[in-house]
Amino acid sequence: MSVIGVLALQGAVREHIRSIEATGATAVEIKRKEQLDEIDGLILPGGESTTMRRLIDSYCFFDAIREFGGQGKPIFGTCAGLILMASHIEGRTGGHLGLMHMTVARNAFGRQVASFEANLNVKHIGDDVNAVFIRAPYIVTADSDVDVLTTYDNRIVAAKQGHYLCTAFHPELTDDNRLIAYFAGMVEQSEQALASS
């Protein structure tokens, strides 16, 4: 059975743990980089990306997460997690983990309308996916190897690049578990591929 970790330095950790468990996979809170050796897939939760980056550096996670992804192990970033995964961030030189070939804008829907919900049709997932946006980013541009999964208001808010998945919204805050289940499927597939290689 797959073991999926949630980076537990800051942010919406508990909700992800509950959603992972609902898919039948085992969920683990990741607080030390050594724990990455024990998991098959990793979720970077929502929170505050600048703070999370600082904690990633303080706890020596930076290279460890990039190596985890480099081994072909799936990573799913939600909201602040999406920002961490991007190669470029508007208004900043360089990205953070730089795993996905895309430029993102932070707090892109305005600080005043800080949060809202929408029902979106998401490629590979289905119709009417309940999406909760909280001070959400969006993907401004993406390279051709990035599969755009959905848009809201003509802005890209979910994407996949090989074994990397990201959403600008918070699937873990709803009862709609399809995105987490889809990620759990990606993790299972990568486990099989890595076992037979």
Task: Please tell me whether residue 183 adopts helix, strand or coil conformation.
Answer: helix
Give CA torsion, residues 16, 190, 123, 151, to 10 deg.
60
Task: Please tell me whether residue 47 adopts helix, strand or coil conformation.
Answer: coil
Q: Is 54 annotated as a binding residue?
A: no
Tokens of 25: 């996979």
* Contact pattern for ligand GLN over residues 26 through 55, marking x by CB under 6 A: --------------------xxxx------
- How near is the Cβ of 167 to ligand GLN at its closest, in Å? 10
Q: How many residues bind ligand GLN (CB under 6 A)?
A: 11
Q: Is 49 annotated as a binding residue?
A: yes
CB 79 within 8 A of CB 136: yes
Give the residue with the Cβ less far from ligand GLN, 41 or 47: 47
Bridge partners (DSSP) listed for residue 42: 5, 75
Closest of 130, 127, 106, 135 to residue 118, by C-alpha: 130
Q: Is 53 annotated as a binding residue?
A: no
Give the residue with the Cβ less far from ligand GLN, 49 or 150: 49
Q: Is 135 left (phi over 0), alpha (psi -120 to 50) or beta?
A: left
Whether 16 sits among the annotated catalytic residues: the reply is no
Active-site choice (79, 96, 166, 191): 79
- How near is the Cβ of 92 to ligand GLN at its closest, in Å? 11
Q: Is 190 annotated as a binding residue?
A: no
How far is Cα 40 from Cα 51, in angstroms, rounded to an integer?
25
If you count them, how many residues does the chain have? 197
Q: Is 86 in the site for ligand GLN (CB under 6 A)?
A: no
Q: Is 134 annotated as a binding residue?
A: yes
Give the residue with the Cβ less far from ligand GLN, 32 or 54: 54
Catalytic residue numbers, as ranges: 79, 170, 172
The binding site for ligand GLN (CB under 6 A) comprises: 46-49, 79-80, 83, 106-107, 134-135
